[in-house]
Chains A and B, each alone.
Chain A
């Protein structure tokens, strides 16, 4: 055993050395690219340590974090841990895995749970709470959440108990387009749903060689999810947020007439061979095109619009100018009229599996304004929007982040969480995906909705 522990300490030393090298490399490349002084190595910024001193002396303690966010998107999460580590002396061990959703239940059941996990879906939180291993959020976190992100609180609550504070957020109600192509052809960004449909017809009529929309829903095991976002987004617009809530909670059946209306509206775009699938072919190619590739034809002009979340920004090839007057940009998927503004989005939640003071202190930090601001400040690559409404939006550097944050903080906006993430896993991560995929490949509206309704777990 002595051999093992010796080897382990060497390992730890090696990884610390590598980590510091990595950070140094990161810092230099950041300042080289953007010219923003202190973007990568700004980790040294000071925060008020008082809130964490209440948890006692934590020097030398470790907190392990397990998430679904891997390189390169993990760096914006890791960098802002620094002020907390400086304050408390706690070492935060970050681990990201793409197999997160499959591995977390295994680790929890096997008794090897991480201290903290970032859960990307409220549905997963419910499953984890059901194992009895999730620890309720401490009062300090509850206070922060009430002050900073009240809209998200219900999503971190299971059976009346608050477990998980929201962390990051993303906005899904976006349509990606090419500002330069729009300018060349004299198209304007639509403000209402009717304008969007008119524009769609106009583009189809003007450009016989290309299509107004491109879409792709292939995503490995999760094939179909981009289509569920389509339906949810349109449902928010045709039926309104209240009906949407009822639908997600299954207070109205999945095949309710209001959902049929919404699906028919989606079908007017996604199932019309005149309107899709720019750059790829007919309607059926939507099912076989990967969601990463789906929007790319916008760049060569074979497609004009692509509805996808803010995180699609990472999929544009290197050198693409993502800006309001650049190669690609996004506009808000318009509502029925300009008076309402439903926003569909998603986010992660911080669940704790350990009841130790350093874990609680870290949870408190993650729900604080300091964390959100530090994250925005050190964020180089984008994807740093938080659910925290008291965070300083002006600190965000990435234009897409700014755009998303504006949507989230807009006074007139009504935020709703991605419905498939809230539904029971068997539907939200199962039959809903499958049903929408079959719908794309030819199944009619009614059969699709009936199929999903029948699969809803009876309880």
Chain B
């Protein structure tokens, strides 16, 4: 909502100043929305938006073009020279990047990433929506304090937790060398924000819905699964995409907890593509693109949910 406020400045609505308080508020609200819609739809706004989009995409385009150029070309001239002299484009970088490393092929790393990512997205969503339900609709003593405490955990940087967690995983729980350590770590790090987001979304659903269900004899479990979960889909999808991108692109957590090429995700492989002394850095652009493909596809195909999730949360506030 706050992003839409500036459109409703008092100066822009001088004629409404004499109306009653409620009338003014309603009038302003309507004026703000339509004004915002108008502003976003105007030609200039479109131009600015297109301009920003172009600026934002240019480096990525450069990366894409670079990934098809030979090592010598990359070192000697800029990627834009391709448009005047398109000769010398090659698939060599991709071939080299996809070549098996010492122990595993690129596909193995890709599979590792998928194996890491899916549970690391589903687990926090499931736990956080259960917790959010409790925080939103189950009154119990100390609920608000506990909720603030959970959200406050967001402040703790994950870096300080790495060594203690590793110690617990390897020495107390005994699964230092398995996917469990990254799944749990990602879940732990994601829970505060996930709980907060889903709680806020859930709070905005009308309470009458829950009451009606309870009158009909539904318990917490039925309410949660039959009524709330379907309504929550946009919020879950929005957070799911966030978490997916975060886990997919994560290097730090995997580096710390997963040793050995049979577990390491694609980010670890990309980071090592350039060789011990960075002499093969021209492979990085190709490697980056291979690892980017899946998140881009996921984002594009789910962006409908993403936008709806954001708007749904915003407009009801």
A264 within 8 A of B: no
CA distance A103 to B259 in the complex (A): 10
Segment 269-313 of B: residues with Cβ below 8 Å from A? 271-281
Do residues A112 and B72 form an inter-chain contact, with CB atoms below 8 A? no
Q: Hey, which chain A residues are within 8 Å of B101, CB to CB?
A: 22, 70-71, 74
Do residues B276 and A68 form an inter-chain contact, with CB atoms below 8 A? yes
Q: Hey, which chain B residues are within 8 Å of A296, CB to CB?
A: 75
CA distance A185 to B252 in the complex (A): 52
Do residues A314 and B277 form an inter-chain contact, with CB atoms below 8 A? yes
A69 within 8 A of B: yes
A107 within 8 A of B: yes
* CB contact between A111 and one of B171, B179, B256 (< 8 Å): that residue: B171
B151 within 8 A of A: no
User: What size tier do the contact residues of chain B reach?
Assistant: 35 or more
Q: Hey, which chain A residues are within 8 Å of B31, CB to CB?
A: none
Among B160-168, B195-203, B233-241, the stretch in contact with A: B160-168
CA distance A64 to B167 in the complex (A): 19
CA distance A317 to B73 in the complex (A): 10
Do residues A111 and B167 form an inter-chain contact, with CB atoms below 8 A? yes
Residues of A that sit less than 8 Å from B by CB: 4, 8, 11-12, 14-15, 18-19, 21-22, 25, 64, 66, 68-75, 78, 93-99, 103, 106-107, 109-112, 114, 219-220, 290, 292-293, 296, 311, 314-315, 317-318
CA distance A314 to B103 in the complex (A): 21
Known A-B contacts A15-B103, A318-B71; the reply to A70 vs B272 at CB < 8 A is: yes
Residues of B that sit less than 8 Å from A by CB: 71-72, 75, 100-105, 108, 162-167, 169-171, 175-180, 255-256, 259-263, 268, 271-281
Do residues A95 and B276 form an inter-chain contact, with CB atoms below 8 A? no
Do residues A96 and B102 form an inter-chain contact, with CB atoms below 8 A? yes
* CB contact between A15 and one of B165, B176, B178, B261 (< 8 Å): that residue: B261
A278 to chain B, nearest CB (A): 15
A398 to chain B, nearest CB (A): 15
Do residues A94 and B103 form an inter-chain contact, with CB atoms below 8 A? yes
A-B contact count (CB 8 A): 122
Q: Hey, which chain A residues are within 8 Å of B277, CB to CB?
A: 73, 292, 311, 314-315
Q: Hey, which chain A residues are within 8 Å of B71, CB to CB?
A: 317-318
Do residues B260 and A95 form an inter-chain contact, with CB atoms below 8 A? yes
26 intermolecular pairs with C-beta atoms under 8 Å apart: A4-B180, A15-B108, A18-B103, A21-B100, A25-B100, A70-B101, A71-B275, A73-B277, A75-B102, A96-B102, A96-B272, A98-B272, A103-B255, A106-B256, A110-B163, A110-B165, A110-B256, A111-B170, A112-B169, A112-B259, A114-B259, A219-B278, A292-B278, A296-B75, A315-B277, A317-B71
